[in-house]
Structure 1
Amino acid sequence: MTDTFPPDLTVRPAIPEDRPTVERLWLMFHHDLSEFQGALPGPDGTFRNERVESAFTRPDWVPYLFVSDGRPAGFAFVRALYAPVRVLNSFFVVRGARRLGIGTRAVREVVRRHPGNWEIAFQDANPAAVRFWPHVARELAGDAWTRRLRPVPDRPELPPDVWISFAVTG
């Protein structure tokens, strides 16, 4: 996509029929993260997918699918949907759709569907995430956001995650 205008984008809750598409996007997501986490797929060539399962089965989670010009462009999982603080648990944009504004537009639409307090985690080793998430926080909350390091639960060998927090009003 080299057009100068932004591509068409639809952000919608994923339905059960979308699950195979989201599962394939999940593999791409984890492949990208493996560069920073040093993770290898399992013997069957897949990565752990408990979050996909949770996103499609737990009532306090919601999966979103991003569709650009009729093709899957990414996904997001929101958890703690009914808690005081929602968590953008996973967020992914396909490489071919990056740097077109799709990620910013998608996260903006997802969080605005669920006004309130938000938290998003990412790894300092991921330079694209280090640039992207503070940009998103500033766009959505101005200067009213925080950045904190937190240990990864049950993984003391890993560097801490970076967590940003902000609020979005309806």
Structure 2
Amino acid sequence: MKKLVVSILIVGWLLLPIQAFANFASFFVVYEDHVYELSSETVDEVGKQIGEVTEYGDRVEFYSGNFSNAYEVGTPYYEIPGVDPAEKIAVEESPGVYIVGERTVEFTGEAVRESSLTTESIGSVFSFVVLGLIGFFLFRRISFRKGKKEEEEPEEE
């Protein structure tokens, strides 16, 4: 039983950081190999459609094409009148609602992974450490009590 508890704690302890660092730092779309970070800014008027989401994923992996971690495949991208698409584009959030995406970095797996360490991730790691310490001390306390009980039991001759 003791070995099972230790095994579960160790496996959980090892897997938690993988989950903590798997999420992206922000919502974005990729257009022409560049990340466009989505903001809360909206535009009322858009120009011609310049692309659409071709792949969706919410974990750090390397994708190609017009990838998004926020919108489903088929979500269209538009030009914003008077704004160079190399700076900002509009993404159709819902019919008639267009969210502004601002170009940040070239889309590579490494650039996305570097941007994925957020306060949320740091908080997850902190929680992981605290839970690990709590588990360690509980295990030690249970072991100590069990050892003390064995000492108190009279030996039979």
TM interval, short-chain normalised:
under 0.3
Could you state the TM-score of these two structures normalised by the residue count of structure 2?
Answer: 0.19
| Structure (1 or 2) with the larger CA radius of gyration | 2
